[in-house]
Structure 1
Amino acid sequence: MQEIGKQIRQIRTQRGISLNAYADVLGVSSGYLSNLETGKTQNITLSILEHLQNDLTLVPYPTDNNDELRLRLDRVYNLLFALQSCKPDAVEYLLRCVEEGAEAFLSHYTSSPR
């Protein structure tokens, strides 16, 4: 449980989310989240664990290629969603790059030669 706690803290701080803010997102006290991150508590409800997994992808699942793409897209969504509150212009730029890049590749690889 201590390793998961370290992962939670690392990802939370990389995203620039405070302990109190993330505790609010999870619906737990900041003391509980701090204890979870430091390994001082071994108790976690399934709903909190599911929320953490969905939000942070703590434990990678064995997947096929489509599932891996879905997990990565979900992770990108969560990162962009978190970034949106502090830097919306960066989110717009990143989304535009992905959309235009995907369209360019798709048109190149699906167009028939003339």
Structure 2
Amino acid sequence: MRLLQLSNPKLIHPDFQSNRESVESTVSFASKTAQISQRLTRLSLPRLKESSTCCKLGRPEESIWTVSRAAQKALVSARVEMLSTPKQLSKDYIPPREPEWSRENVRST
């Protein structure tokens, strides 16, 4: 019931007076007759470029990304390996429990 009440839009205040009839905007003659230049048209288009970082899809076991030889031959330092290990959970951490449902706790409507 409360959800239905909250879903209704707010009503307009009874003393509200709209003045939309008096709002006017004038567009200048120059704005009405303006011509767009070729340069502006070119600048408005998205820039398209070929991506060289991604290869065509092949077999699932093949990589989509190209990996440089230097990256393939790189050796990990002790510092990088230490930073890559996940943090341990706090000793006070209590994992979330699965909810326990019983027929006594469930009321039928």
TM-score by length of 2: 0.23
Q: Which has the larger radius of gyration?
A: 2
Greater relative CO, 1 or 2 (CA 8 Å, sep 6+): 1
